[in-house]
Structure formats: structure tokens, C-alpha cells
Amino acid sequence: MSRQGIKPRKVEIREPRDTFLIVCEGQKTEPKYFKAFRVPATVEEFNVVGFGSNTLSLVEKAIELKQERDYDQVWCVFDRDSFSALQFNEALALAAREGMKVAYSNEAFELWYLLHFNYYDAAMSRSQYPGKLSKLLGFKYRKNLPNMYATLLEKQQEAMRNAKKLLGRYNPSCPERDNPSTTVHLLVEQLNRFLG
């Protein structure tokens, strides 16, 4: 039988689509930062919520939300703060058991902002972050600024390098004691896959 005249069927190739749920400890600072990512249509659903809960309660809330919808990636974003090491470690372990990822910062999310400017490997208190950020930004830093993503975007690659280098210096890693440290760059890497 001749194959002439038979048109091959057109196969539609679709871009992979992901669904994201990002559950943040902070109600404003972290959600504003992550909502500013210009996530394209290849991401089916991009849900960022802030609860103001402690680490363990936040992971439990993320589990509830995950049960409502089958997300491809579920991330919990929280700080080490002054929570007990036990509670912090329980939150990390619970998230891992539930197949969720964690973007933590020891001590606070603002460490991620600082890493856009310099590499920091000396322990510092969260109370030091605003003063350092104000000097580096050239204006008074305060929590919940609406445009931090855009303000820092051109320095994001430096922040990624600094965060990886910082995390790599802890061997073995002990997140509740590794001050300063952050894994926010891991979440940013995942989101950036869709922005290229």
C-alpha cells in the first residue's frame, strides 16, 4: 500500500506544567516576595499564602492545603527565629515525610536579601538585618516592603551563589545551629526554571 497521500497526524507537544503551593510563615514579607515572580502560563497554578504560624503549625497547615489539591511542588517557607531546636527540627522532618520542601532561613528571611549584596558567614541576630539592609539598599528597610523582588532582581544570581556557598560550609549540615544559613535559593531556582 502506498504511503503517498497519507498525511501524518499532527502531534501536539505541550510544555510541562507544574502546580506550586508556597506556604509562608510570614503574612506579608515572604508572600509579597514570591508573588512578585512573573510566573508564566506554563505553571498551571501558583498559590502563595502567608499564615503567621510557627514552624510546626505552618507545616501542618501546608499538609491540609496539599490534601485539598494535588500540587506538584509544595514549599514551606519559615525562619529559625527563636523557636526551639526541637520544634524547628520536627517541622523539617514532617515536611520531608510529607514530600514537601522547605525554604528555611536561620535566623530570618532577610538573610536572603542580604546575600544579594555580600557573602555573610558570621552569626548574626535578626535584629541586625534591618540596619545592614538599610545601608546596602540606600533607604530605610522595613518589613513588608512591596517591591523587594524587583529591587533585588539584578543581584539575584549573586544571592544564589552566596547562599550555595554558605550552605556548603556546613558539613554535616545542622539547620537549627547553622547561623547564618538559608535554603530560599532552592525555591528560587525552581521558580526560575519557568522564567527562562
pLDDT above 80 (res 1): no
- pLDDT confidence of residue 44: 81
Residues 6+ apart with CB under 8 A from 138: none
- Bigger pLDDT: 28 or 18? 28
Structure confidence at residue 42 as a pLDDT band (50, 70, 90): low
Task: Kindly state the average pLDDT of the residues 31-45.
Answer: 85
pLDDT above 70 (res 180): yes
Contact criterion met (CB below 8 Å) for 175 and 166: no
- pLDDT confidence of residue 79: 93
DSSP 3-state of 24:
strand
Structure confidence at residue 52 as a pLDDT band (50, 70, 90): confident
pLDDT above 60 (res 12): no
Q: Taking the CB of residue 126, how many other CB atoms lie within 10 A of it? A: 18
Structural domain contains residue 31? yes
The CATH number linked to 122 is 3.40.50
Structural domain contains residue 13? no
- pLDDT confidence of residue 63: 97
Q: Give the β-pairing of 181-182 and 101-106.
A: antiparallel
Structural domain contains residue 104? yes
Structural domain contains residue 79? yes
- Which tens digits make up the pLDDT trace of 164-174? 999 999 999 89
- pLDDT confidence of residue 168: 94
Structural domain contains residue 86? yes
Q: How far is CA 173 from the centre of its chain?
A: 19
- Which tens digits make up the pLDDT trace of 92-149? 999 999 999 999 999 999 999 999 999 999 998 899 999 999 999 999 999 999 899 9
pLDDT above 80 (res 13): no
Structural domain contains residue 110? yes
- pLDDT confidence of residue 29: 95
Domain span at residue 182? 18-192
User: Per the structure, how many domains does the chain have?
Assistant: 1
Question: What is the C-alpha separation between 110 and 102, in angstroms, rounded?
Answer: 16
Task: Kindly state the average pLDDT of the residues 42-47.
Answer: 82
Question: What is the C-alpha separation between 120 and 162, in angstroms, rounded?
Answer: 8
- pLDDT confidence of residue 14: 46
Structural domain contains residue 73? yes
Task: Kindly state the average pLDDT of the residues 39-58.
Answer: 86
Structural domain contains residue 11? no
By C-alpha distance, which of 80, 101, 102 is closest to 178?
Answer: 80
Question: What is the C-alpha separation between 156 and 147, in angstroms, rounded?
Answer: 14
